[in-house]
């Protein structure tokens, strides 16, 4: 997450940009076209702020940290051999991992993805436990109420 949130005016401007797939107060996601072009231009040595500006985005609105984050994220995808897509989560197909020697960079990316998935599943499990607990509580209150009648 970046240091600061986007204002409502900034959000409106970002959401009207054809290269922004989604924008919230904290996060941005970009189209495949943006990602591919951004990556090519960055690898050619063009300054990141200039690339962002060429897509109609204001570097001062995004901030240096977000702009560097875009580059870092795309670099991780390339290192892992993943394509640029509009999808929120990109999963590595198992067939692509068979008989493929993984570099340490690819292993780091895979480990990060697995750690993220484990954390998500833990949160999901805690949520389910709370729902079950709340359901049992409600059932108990209902039984107690019936017993008084």
pLDDT digits (tens, 9 = 90+) for 85-94: 877 655 555 5
Q: How far apart are CA 24 and CA 14, in angstroms?
A: 9
Q: What pLDDT band is residue 102 in, cutting at 50, 70 and 90? A: low
Q: What pLDDT band is residue 109 in, cutting at 50, 70 and 90? A: confident
**Cβ-proximal residues to 90 (8 Å cutoff; 6+ apart), any chain:** 77, 82, 83
Q: What pLDDT band is residue 100 in, cutting at 50, 70 and 90? A: low
Q: What is the mean pLDDT of residues 59-71?
A: 91
Q: How far apart are CA 36 and CA 85, in angstroms?
A: 9
Q: What is the pLDDT of residue 51?
A: 94
pLDDT digits (tens, 9 = 90+) for 13-24: 999 999 999 888
Question: What pTM does this model have?
Answer: 0.57
Q: How far apart are CA 76 and CA 63, in angstroms?
A: 20
Q: What are the φ/ψ torsions at residue 20 (nearest 5 degrees)?
A: -95, 120
The DSSP string of 8-77 is HHHHHHHHTSTTEEEE-SS-EEE-HHHHHHHHHHHHTT--HHHHHHHTT--HHHH-HHHHHHHHHHHHHH
């Amino acid at each position: 997450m970046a240091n600061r949130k986007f204002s409502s005016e900034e959000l409106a401007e970002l959401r009207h940009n054809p290269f922004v797939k989604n924008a919230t107060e904290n996060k941005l996601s970009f189209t495949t076209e943006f990602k591919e072009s951004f990556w090519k231009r960055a690898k050619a040595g063009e300054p990141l702020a200039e690339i962002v500006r060429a897509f109609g985005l204001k570097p001062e609105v995004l901030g240096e940290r977000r702009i560097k984050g875009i580059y870092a994220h795309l670099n991780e995808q390339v290192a892992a051999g993943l394509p640029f897509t509009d999808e929120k989560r990109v999963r590595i197909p198992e067939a692509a991992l068979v008989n493929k020697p993984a570099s340490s960079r690819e292993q780091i990316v895979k480990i990060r993805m697995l750690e993220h998935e484990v954390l998500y599943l833990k949160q999901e499990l805690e949520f389910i436990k709370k729902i079950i607990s709340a359901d049992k509580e409600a059932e108990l209150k209902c039984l107690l109420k019936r017993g008084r009648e």
